[in-house]
Structure 1
Amino acid sequence: MLAVLEVTLPVFALVFCGYVAAGRKMLPDKAVEGINAFVFRFALPAMLFRVIALRPIGELIDWRYTIGYVIAALAVYALVYRLARQGKLGGPPADGAHAAALSLHVTHGNVGYLGLALVAEVSAKALPTVALTIILDIVVIVVLSMVLMELQRGRERAGGSSPWVPVFASLSRSPLVLSMAAGLVVSFGGWQLPTVVDNFTRLLGGAAGPGALFAIGAALGGARLRFDREIWALLAAKLVLYPVAVALSLFLVFRPDPFVAAIGVLCATLPGASNSFIIAQRYGVPTGAISAATAGGTALSVFTVSLAIWLLGLR
């Protein structure tokens, strides 16, 4: 266990640095926004591009893992959605958009920011699995959630355009989506990166890990930790139910390479991503529970992620 903590504690210490810096106003608000913008628009896209582009497409697409992970995610998503609609998550019955936002929080972990940095410390050979997980999260979970929210808001407006138009318009502007698409093109074509591009993306991508971890803490710096029945339900679903469902699907049913399965379960143990809050806010969905569960989950994940790494044998 000590060997595990030697990996996880430095990672979460960077998150704590960002939390303290923002919470104690060591950084102006504009600086925090600038750090987030740099990580989201430059560093992480460069890192994701390299992870995908430098590997043959056959090393990225693992169909056993893909099907097993997606089925587990959709099963948990459907369960949380139904419980939220029935008011069995500790809060009042939710409409379709609110239920979709809560389900998104549970099944869309912080793989892009926290996962890439953490897994890079565990094993660099696991990064393609993390990249594949991010692709699956965006293509399946995020798109499904945005469609459900668009459908709900369309019904409230008594009509409206197709939900697919705003969803794909939003995704087409995302730097992460664009960088992964570019990486897939290079990988599929079997092309070698020019030396200048290779060096540029390597230098820029090298800032993604520490920058993302600091940005996570800075984003939570002003958040107050609170726990009520609904928050505990969301935390239990995100930090316990979801990784257990992914583990059962991957280890017992679809059985990809055990190391790949372990990395998938580790990705599932990560706390909820701030994207859930941002997307919910955009659609006018109540965000109090999501915000609190994101902050609480990030604080608790120093223990749950360390335990998962130990149980999975990822040293």
Structure 2
Amino acid sequence: MLAIFSITLPIFVLIGTGVIAGRFLGLERGDLRGLSNFVWYFALPGLILRAFVLHPISDFLHLNYLLLYMTASLLTFGISLSVARFARGKTLTESALMALGSSSSNSGFVGFPVASLVVGPLAPIGLALNMIVENLIILPAGMVLAEDGQRGGAGALTALRASLISLIRNPLIISLFIGAAISASGLDFKDLSLFHAIDMLANASGAVALFIVGATLASTKATGSLLPDAAQVSIGKLVLHPLSALAVAFLMPGLEPEMRKMAIIFASSPMLTVYPIIGQRFGYQDMSSAALLMATTASFFTISIMLALV
């Protein structure tokens, strides 16, 4: 158990530091937006580029891992959507947002720092593959269904078009393509001065991302009326998603044990930090904020338990 806490404690110390800074240093949303933009547009793309420079393109062709993570995420999405829509009578829009929160991990800000402490150099590869699933499948599915629900069936095409445009502009997707081209070229970029700059950006990603998560939580509130919905999303994210990954991992022959561990660890992380922003777009900011607060707080315990299992 001490070995587990030695992994999780630094993660949550950094999140706690962000909470303290958000509460007592007067950090405003504009400050956090600037830090988030730094991580989103520079540090995480640098992390992905560094992984492609340091690894041959063949290391990223883990189709079994991609299938595992995609299947677990879609399974979680479908179950969460069905429970909210048919068992609890929620609207299609709210059901889609709850499913999105349950199945989209905060791979860059929480999952990667934890995975890097467990599986080391495999973590950036997992992050790159997760970005494909989350940005090309889960996020568009949630947004299209939520838009469709709000517009009574007339908004799906508009939402799909907006999702495609967003993908083209996504810095992580852009860095994936650039990194793949660099890796496939076979040229050695490690000794270039530019690579050292990328390396410095990549090293900053984990700590700054966790600090942002904590500072965001400091300004997030939850009320009693939101607890049932927040609880469903949190249980879906912290229990159903990693258990789905665990189940699919055991059903997939030929997958390396470290890859199985990595998928479960990434699936165990709470939802995207921008989840309340997505919720705000559809009028469900309070629900999504409460879910983010609940899931991130509870993840200290659930991630520790999941690490013990793997």
Counterpart in the other structure of 2:81 = 81
Q: Does 1:182 align with 2:181?
A: no
**2-side partners of 1:71 and 1:112: how far apart?**
20
In the TM superposition, 1:169-248 aligns within 5 A as 169-193=165-189, 195-225=192-222, 228-248=227-247
- Structure 2 counterparts to residues 79-228 of structure 1, below 5 A: 79-88=79-88, 93-127=89-123, 128-155=125-152, 158=154, 162-193=158-189, 195-225=192-222, 228=227
> Does the CA contact (< 8 Å) of 2:119 and 2:258 recur in 1?
no
Deviation at 1:163, TM superposition (A): 3.7
Aligned to 1:258: 257
User: What's the TM-score, normalizing by structure 2?
Assistant: 0.91
Other-structure match for 1:293? 291
- Indicate conservation of the 8 Å contact 2:145/2:156, yes or no: no
Tell me if 1:58 matches 2:58.
yes
Amino acid at match of 1:309: L
For residues 97-141 of structure 1, the C-alpha deviation after alignment (integer angstroms, 9 at most, x for no partner) is 322111110010111111122222223222112321222221111
Other-structure match for 1:307? 305
Change beyond 3 A, Cα 1:233–1:204: same
Q: Look up the match of 1:48.
A: 48
Alignment length, in residue pairs? 306
User: What is residue 31 of structure 2 aligned with on the other side?
Assistant: 31
Indicate how the Cα distance of structure 1 residues 123 and 30 shifts in structure 2: closer, same or farther if over 3 A, else same. same
Contact 1:251-1:258 within 8 A present in 2 as well? no
**Relative to 1, partners in 2 of residues 1:161 and 1:138: Cα closer, same or farther, differing over 3 Å?**
closer
Give TM-score scaled by structure 1 length.
0.89
CA distance in 2, matches of 1:25, 1:73: 37
d(CA) in 2 for partners of 1:164 and 1:52? 29
Go from structure 1 to structure 2 and tell me whether the alpha carbon gap of 1:152 and 1:18 turns closer, same or farther (over 3 Å shift).
Answer: same
Contact 2:96 2:142 in 1 (8 A): yes
How far the C-alpha of 1:188 sits from its partner, in A, is 3.0
3-state DSSP of counterpart to 2:274: helix
Q: CA shift at 1:87, angstroms?
A: 4.9
Q: What's the offset of the Cα at 1:214?
A: 0.5
Q: Report SS of the residue matched to 2:46.
A: helix
Q: Distance in 2 between matches of 1:81 and 1:161?
A: 20
Which stretch shows the higher mean deviation, 79-88 or 13-22? Answer: 79-88
Measured in 1, the distance between the counterparts of 2:120 and 2:156 equals 46
Higher helix share: 2
Q: Is the 8 A contact 2:147 2:159 kept in 1?
A: yes
Stretches of structure 1 lacking an aligned partner (at least 5 in a row):
none
Cα pair distance change 1:195/1:266, threshold 3 Å: same
Q: Secondary structure at the match of 2:220?
A: coil
Superposed, 1:65-76 pairs within 5 Å as 65-76=65-76
SS in 2 for 1:273: coil
Q: How far, CA to CA, are the matches of 1:153 and 1:253 in structure 2?
A: 38
Identical counterparts, % of pairs: 28
